[in-house]
Amino acid sequence: MKRTYLAGVSLTALLMAGGAVAETVKIANISELSGPGAAAGTVWAHGVELAVDEINEHGGILGMPVEMKEYDSQTDPQVSRALVQKAIDEGAFALLGTVYSSSTVVNMLVAQMNGIPQFTASEAPSITSKGNPYIFRTNWGAQKGMPKIGSYLKDQLGVSKVAIAWANTEFGKGGHDSFVSIVEDMGLDVVADIPSEQGQADFSADVLKIKNSDAEAVFIYLTQEEAARFLMEATKQGLDIPKIGDSVLTSEKVIDLAGAAANGAKGHVALTIAADEPRVQEFADKFSERFGYSPDYNAMKGYIGAYTIKYGTEMVGEVNSQKLADVVHGLCLDADEYPGVLIDMCWDDTGEVSRESYMVEVVDGREQVSEVLPAN
């Protein structure tokens, strides 16, 4: 009898414990914590981590703590695909990641099949053009930034011949195609078109080809470590033309890796800690204090992604994947009311993002904003 009673108490305790576990909001972050994408993926993951801890300190989502699991995609699309499935199998109701577009185009199909909303850092145009109702960017796609870069090259720099150095990946191809199409429509001549492989270490031939192409400016569309190596090689070979890029080129990581070689690089960026916004500065201070280094746009994207899940879920009023995906389509968040998004932003019905942007230049090892451009 005593044994039966004890068994009953144990079972009740177990069920209660099970009930307590069920009262959490499960999300997952799948990012590039190793492999060639580690520089970007780690920073993104830290941004997510900071946001989740803050959310939990302030009562979680709908009063429930957030339980986040982290997965390392190893910058391998097939691994990322398997991990997205694993995260969903383990109960995640919303996903964050991946950063590299080559991985996201593969793993977002798994999230789509399972009806799970996914907030990605990827910027390849193809991500939001496939009609996937569960994918959402945390920054706009490359195709939205390219017209502004093209106008800057033509109207402000007066360039007629341009070179492009780009990563031969999903991210790079998307940006390359958009850029070439836009600048050619504007009447600019692409005189050197140089692809490079992921993880490429030696850029001497690439820089030499650009140098000998008579290009008046080079558009650099590479991932962080490759962008840093390119800038170092450009300095080594005395490539003395404007070096223009997107968020990557002027990011903290590239500046850290390239050192003085990053000075003078200019970028059209959506998110930068150089922005004159108190919320951005507060975020940068918290991030630096916690992780011991300055955040970049990927950290901001991770932070924004985690907070978007919170705001969207609380608008819906329940932890429901489908309803979260539905509410974010067409959603606009005012940063005064929803400070976790840092800067006002909107999503359209494809998951694409709109927000204002900045032209920045690296001066003495720091990003400086030279112009604020309106959202498009």
Partner 1 sequence: MAELLQILVSGLSAGAIYALAAVGFTLLWQASQTINFAQGEFVMLPAFFVLAGMTIFGLPLWAAILTAMVLSLLILGAMFKKLIVEPMLPHGTLPLVIATIALGLLMKESVKEFYSAQGQPFPTLFPQHVLDFFGASISVQDICNLIVAFAAIISLQLFLGRTRTGRAMQATAQDPRVAEILGVDVKRMVMYTFLINGALAAIASILISPVYLAKFSNGETLGMIAFIAAIVGGFNQIKGALVGGLLIGVIDNVAAVYISAEYRAAIPLILLIVIIMVRPQGIMGTSEGRTV
Q: Compute how many other C-beta atoms are within 10 angstroms of the C-beta atom of residue 21.
A: 11
Of 131 and 238, which has the nearer Cβ to partner 1?
238
Say whether 371 sits in a helix, a strand or coil: strand
**Nearer Cβ to partner 1 (193/326):** 193
Q: How far is CA 82 from CA 103, 110, 189, in A?
A: 11, 9, 43
The span from the CA of 279 to the CA of 159, in Å, is 36
**Least distance from C-beta 363 to partner 1, angstroms?**
19
Strand partners, 31: 72
Closest approach, Cβ 270 to partner 1, in A, equals 22
Min dist. Cβ of residue 168 to partner 1 (A)? 7
Count the Cβ atoms, other than its own, within 10 Å of residue 345.
25
Structure tokens at 342: 């840092």
Least Å from the CB of residue 249 to partner 1 = 16
Q: Which of residues 97 and 340 has its CB atom nearest to partner 1 in the complex?
A: 97
Residue 158 or 238 having the CB closest to partner 1: 238
Question: Under a CB-based contact definition with an 8 Å cutoff, are residues 112 and 134 in contact?
Answer: yes
What crossing angle do the helices spanning 224-236 and 204-211 adopt, rounded to 10°? 60
- 118 vs 294 by CB, closer to partner 1: 294
Distance in Å, CB of 180 to partner 1, minimum: 16
Q: Collapsing DSSP states into helix, strand and coil, what is residue 284?
A: helix
Q: Least distance to partner 1 from the beta carbon of 81, Å?
A: 20
- Token pair for residue 130? 């496939």
Residue number with CB closer to partner 1 (225 or 352): 225
Q: Which residues bind partner 1 (CB under 8 A)?
A: 33-36, 38-39, 42, 168, 194-197, 199, 201-202, 204-206, 208-209, 211-212, 224-225, 228-229, 232-233, 235-238, 253, 256-260
- Residue 163's DSSP bridge partners are 192, 218
Q: How far is the CB of 175 from partner 1 (least distance, A)?
A: 17
CA-CA-CA-CA torsion for 111, 116, 117, 118, nearest 10 degrees?
-40
In the complex with partner 1, the residue whose CB is nearer, 35 or 65, is 35
From CA 159, how far away is CA 189, in angstroms rounded? 9
